[in-house]
Amino acid sequence: MTLKRLLVVEDEALVATDLSLRLQALGYEVVGIADNAIDAWALCEAHGPELVLMDIHIKGDRDGIETAHTIRRRWDIPVVYLTAYSDDATVGRATESDPFGYVLKPFDERMVQITIEIAFHKYQTQNAIKQREQWIRSVIDTLSDWVVVTNQSGIIEFLNEGAQSELGASVGEGIQSVIRLVDREGHPIMMNPIELVAKSGIPQMMEWVCLERRDAPPVTVSISAAPLRDHLEQQCGVVTSFNNISRRKEVERSLWLAQQSVTDQVNHSVKRYQRQVLRYQTQLDRHKHTIKELNKVKRRYAKLTQDSGAHDGGDDE
């Protein structure tokens, strides 16, 4: 089983040595002891401890709180304060460095161990949440839609990369100052889907809306807005997706124009064929009439020939 690796930052040598021995007895590995910020940073760089036990008042120009700030920012190592100072000012400054525990001297081994284990658990939980958030962020950033999350007052709290670049928006701005929605006739949409969802909690959809942006040309979009709820199922904001359908609109118009062109060509060809058929029908009718007249002449000729033969036969007798 791998031991959890700790760094002790304490300016009193006897206290630091005693604490180090106690920690090793509890089953931890102490990678080093430092009494100032420079040495603490060097040990973090060299050994990469999993947790730092930090006294607030240490040697040098930087105290433990400043040292912890740098450790959290540069190496993302959790810090637990072990100090004799518990005044409001010190605790307030220490809190700003996002500590994972705060133990007052004199301390007992059990309290230190419990605080360390809670700190490890808290750190692992935070990392899991960060990884999950990063995973979700990566997925949302790959979407072609522009995704914007606003609170109940319409202030932007999150937006994906597409929304940032295409809407020119940023966290903390009011959505109404970033976009303006206009209907097909060019009239402003007074009650937009985001406001409707914030007021009613009912998902809204709107198609073929002209979206006027602050620093870019207007585009045609479809909008889908839905309520955002917290862990208590209380509505805390609105998630809005803008789908840029300007290109689709252009493609549909091109297809419509192509279809109209094909339809016009077909209609022209049909009319031309109809005229040809009519002309052929007229010629056929004329031929039929000619044949009919010829048949009449043929019958008359046959009758005349028959009558002439009958007369000739009578003379012979």
User: Would you say the C-alpha torsion 307, 309, 312, 314 has a positive or negative sign?
Assistant: negative
Of 210 and 304, the structure prediction assigns the larger pLDDT to: 210
At 313 the pLDDT is: 58
Provide the mean pLDDT of the chain.
Answer: 87
User: What tokens does 138 get?
Assistant: 């990566």
What residue ranges in the chain does DSSP mark as E strands? 5-9, 29-34, 51-54, 79-83, 101-104, 146-151, 156-159, 179-182, 204-213, 219-229, 235-244
Distance between CA 41 and CA 58 in Å, rounded? 13
144-244: CATH class: alpha beta
Residue 81: band (very low, low, confident or very high) from pLDDT cuts 50, 70, 90: very high
Contact 26, 8 (CB under 8 A): no
5-140: CATH class: alpha beta
- Other CB atoms within 10 A of residue 175 CB: 22
Distance between CA 56 and CA 93 in Å, rounded? 10
* pLDDT tens-digit readout, 209-263: 899 988 888 898 999 999 999 989 999 999 999 998 876 655 555 665 667 777 7
User: Would you say the C-alpha torsion 65, 71, 73, 79 has a positive or negative sign?
Assistant: negative
Question: Residues 187-208: what's their mean pLDDT?
Answer: 90
Residue 71: band (very low, low, confident or very high) from pLDDT cuts 50, 70, 90: very high
Is pLDDT of 317 > 50? Answer: no
Q: What is the pairing mode between strands 101-104 and 79-83? A: parallel
Distance between CA 90 and CA 206 in Å, rounded? 54
Contact 169, 178 (CB under 8 A): yes
Is pLDDT of 264 > 90? Answer: no
Whole-model pTM: value is: 0.63
Question: Residues 30-35: what's their mean pLDDT?
Answer: 96
Distance of CA 225 to the CA centre of its chain: 13
Question: Residues 60-83: what's their mean pLDDT?
Answer: 94
